[in-house]
Structure 1
Amino acid sequence: MKVMIAPDSFKGSLSANQVGEAIKRGILKGMRNAHIEIIPMADGGEGTVDVLLQQHHEAESHRITVHNPIMSPIEATYITFTASDEQVAWIECAESSGLTLINEHERNPMNTNTYGLGEQIKAAIERGIPHIMVSLGGSATNDGGLGMLQALGWQLFDIDGKLLPPTGNPLLKVENICDQYVPASVKNTRFTVVCDVQNPFYGPNGAAYIFARQKGAKDDQIAILDQGLHRLCEIFLHQYGINVQKVDGSGAAGGLGGALLAALDGTIVSGIDTIIQLNKVEEKVKQADLIITGEGSIDHQTLMGKVPFGIAKLAKKYDKPVVGLGGRVDMNLESLNDYFDGIFSIQTECLPIEEAIQPTIASTQLEVTAEQIFRLFNRLI
């Protein structure tokens, strides 16, 4: 039996590759003659760079100095690799603009910006990379991508026509933008925006009202940020003829999706679909007899573009049986059963979550669960 293991990481516990190796050990205990291939997966968020580095052996990692969300210098990484005979740079916005880069008392989207992301992009462009893929998620910012644009050469002006400096959140004061001095190399670069949220730019379901609170904003600040995004939407519409409010995902990462879409002519795509394509997973699914996937929690959010859902959809496309393993599994499986042939929790005993997520325990539980499943498979075939 040819078994393909294509899991996401179990966040806070095991990497996708560690999950795959634990499942493999269990399978071989239950079915010694199984032929197994591990394909670590990600959905464009945390852990995606590691997955791409594993699957693209020629990929290079580049470390540069940029500014974090409060404009302190930090080290950030981006990677380059070849896809479809084209050089590509993959940049995670969380590497430069992430919430984890600043202390809790510093978290306030009224004061943070995405300037560092612009510096990452600029470094890749200066290396001559023609196609830049920016994955969104985990940001500490709600600046509509204006800090990023400043780093790439855009000029921002306030209501009095004064040039705004690259400090704080420029969204609060911007009234006009100018791209006259943006280098041609920036304008000639192709941008792909990788995200899995569908939120609009502003409004009740927009970047500020849905995400700013978890970044440290208070209720009155959220309203101000939302007004700023509404104003910026009008600026983008006037400048570039694109109404970002009408594009799903424009509100991702505090409005970064909208800025990449309008000012940089980017295209927004699904994270899991992109990783499936880049890692040529579809061809491997065709060759497999059984597919195993999983993530830390399999629940209603799994259907919102998470790794197990993407893998299960692909398996069903080719009528392949697919099994999901999770540290936690939602009891309401009705919607998930349309895509999975079986979903199993790995919890072999009742443990507090702090104990259950310990790497050695999670790894053992994955191994035990996989062994039991394949002991049954071995009996049936």
Structure 2
Amino acid sequence: MNFLIASDSYKGSLSAFEVGEAARQGILSAMPTAIVENSPMADGGEGTIDVIALHQKTVRREINVFDPLMNPIVTSYVVFNHEKEEIALIESARSSGLTLVPEEKRNPMSANSFGLGEQIKDAVLSGYRNIKVFLGGSATNDGGVGMLQALGWKFYDKQGKEIGSYGNPLLEVVSFSDEERMSLIDECQFVIVSDVMNPFYGKQGASYVFAEQKGAKTDEVVKLEAAMVRLAALFKETYGVNLQKVAGSGAAGGVGGALLSALKGVLKPGVEMVMELTNLEKKIREADVIVTGEGSLDEQSLMGKVPIGVAKLAKKHGKKVIGIAGRVNTDLHNINQYIDAAFSIQTECLPLPAALKREVAVKQIETTVEQVVRLMKTSHVMKGG
């Protein structure tokens, strides 16, 4: 029996690879003769480059940039050859990520995406013209202003004074100029890879949905929203792009919108790109049962997340799909359109901090998957029914 494990990470607990290895052990405990392949997955958010590097031969480039609070750090991006073309893969979380900011200092009112612009600048100056930017896990809500400043854009306040790159420059923007931007930018193709489809502003936009999670207070969210509305109008006036009509423009605190308009980027769902770069369809064709999952399997999973993306591809080839997750929504009607059966790995009641411990999650995945496969051995599922 051939099993393919194609799971996302369990955020705050296990990497996608670790989830797969735990599930592999569970399968083999129940069925020692099974053939099991672990093909870690991601959806464009934090950790996506690490997953791609497990499947592709990549070269890491270390560079010095500024973090969201403008402290100097060493970060990296990777490059690889795909279909005879050199491609740079840049992850915004490595320069502008929430995990780079101490919890007590997290607040998008004082954070910016300048470091992401420095990553892009280094890739452009190094000769790469096909650049894929992965958005997710950001600490910022600056509409990509910091990123653009690093690339030569000039932003001005109501007095016509140029705005510096400290704090959140978005809050003061009333105009901008791109006359001094890097000219090499025009030679580049930017693909924006994201795991969210939120618009630039509005009740489902970057500020209202994500700013509080990044440390903003309610009144600060209102200020951020007003600034995002102003910036969207400037982008529309200059570049002719109505960001409210482009799902995903609100990704990474609006960085998605800046890439779409100012850098003429093209948005692509993260899970589709990762499935392509990991050759997942071929692996699915060769498997009998697909195991997929993520930290929480719920309605959000339907919005471009790994489990549903994998399951849709598996159903295209008539494969059985099992979902495992740290948490499973009790209403699975929509999810069961794609996943045949979903299981929470929680084998006992534990406080969240205890459940997130690596050794606990590993054991619970092993136990849950083993029991699922033992059941499958006695059912029509394993007999092709």
Shift in CA distance, 182/333, structure 1 to aligned 2, threshold 3 Å: same
- What CA deviation, in whole Å up to 9, does each residue of 1:187-206 have, x standing for no partner? 21111111122221122222
Offset at residue 95 of structure 1 (A): 1.2
Equivalent residue, structure 2, for 1:51? 51
* Aligned 1:326-337 pairs, distance under 5 A: 326-337=325-336
Q: Per the alignment, in what secondary structure is the counterpart of residue 360 of structure 1? A: helix
Distance 1:352 1:108 in 2: 27
Asked if 1:358 corresponds to 2:378, the answer is: no
Shift in CA distance, 287/256, structure 1 to aligned 2, threshold 3 Å: same
- What CA deviation, in whole Å up to 9, does each residue of 1:222-256 have, x standing for no partner? 22222211111111112111111221111111111
Distance 2:51 2:117 in 1: 23
Equivalent residue, structure 2, for 1:233? 232
Offset at residue 328 of structure 1 (A): 2.0
- What CA deviation, in whole Å up to 9, does each residue of 1:176-217 have, x standing for no partner? 222222222112111111112222112222222222222222
Distance 1:12 1:108 in 2: 20
Equivalent residue, structure 2, for 1:15? 15
Is the Cα–Cα contact under 8 Å of residues 232 and 243 in structure 2 kept in the other structure? yes
Q: Per the alignment, in what secondary structure is the counterpart of residue 25 of structure 1? A: helix
Equivalent residue, structure 2, for 1:33? 33
Asked if 1:290 corresponds to 2:293, the answer is: no
- What CA deviation, in whole Å up to 9, does each residue of 1:52-86 have, x standing for no partner? 11111x20112211111121111112111122332
Offset at residue 291 of structure 1 (A): 0.7
1:215 partner amino acid: K
Offset at residue 167 of structure 1 (A): 2.0
Equivalent residue, structure 1, for 2:179? 180
Q: Per the alignment, in what secondary structure is the counterpart of residue 66 of structure 1? A: strand
Distance 2:163 2:7 in 1: 45
* Aligned 1:156-305 pairs, distance under 5 A: 156-305=155-304
Equivalent residue, structure 1, for 2:140? 141
Distance 2:219 2:358 in 1: 41
Is the Cα–Cα contact under 8 Å of residues 26 and 369 in structure 2 kept in the other structure? yes
Q: Per the alignment, in what secondary structure is the counterpart of residue 110 of structure 1? A: helix
Is the Cα–Cα contact under 8 Å of residues 197 and 303 in structure 2 kept in the other structure? no
Offset at residue 4 of structure 1 (A): 0.8
- What CA deviation, in whole Å up to 9, does each residue of 1:324-348 have, x standing for no partner? 1122222222222111111122223
- What CA deviation, in whole Å up to 9, does each residue of 1:2-53 have, x standing for no partner? 2111111122222111111111122122222212211011111122122111
User: TM-score under structure 1 normalisation?
Assistant: 0.95
Q: Per the alignment, in what secondary structure is the counterpart of residue 138 of structure 1? A: coil
Offset at residue 286 of structure 1 (A): 1.5
The root-mean-square deviation of aligned C-alpha atoms, in Å, is: 1.7
Q: Return 255-264 or 367-376, whichever deviates more.
A: 367-376
Distance 1:113 1:369 in 2: 42
Q: Per the alignment, in what secondary structure is the counterpart of residue 203 of structure 1? A: coil
Offset at residue 170 of structure 1 (A): 1.8
Equivalent residue, structure 2, for 1:79? 78
Q: Return 216-225 or 2-11, whichever deviates more.
A: 216-225
1:54 partner amino acid: L
2:270 partner amino acid: G
Equivalent residue, structure 1, for 2:2? 2
Shift in CA distance, 347/80, structure 1 to aligned 2, threshold 3 Å: same
Give % identity: 52
Unaligned residue ranges in structure 2 (runs of 5+): none
Shift in CA distance, 90/355, structure 1 to aligned 2, threshold 3 Å: same
Equivalent residue, structure 2, for 1:91? 90
2:11 partner amino acid: K
Q: Return 255-264 or 202-211, whichever deviates more.
A: 202-211
1:65 partner amino acid: N
2:153 partner amino acid: W
Unaligned residue ranges in structure 1 (runs of 5+): none
User: TM-score under structure 2 normalisation?
Assistant: 0.94
Q: How many residues align?
A: 380
Distance 1:184 1:135 in 2: 23
* Aligned 1:110-121 pairs, distance under 5 A: 110-121=109-120
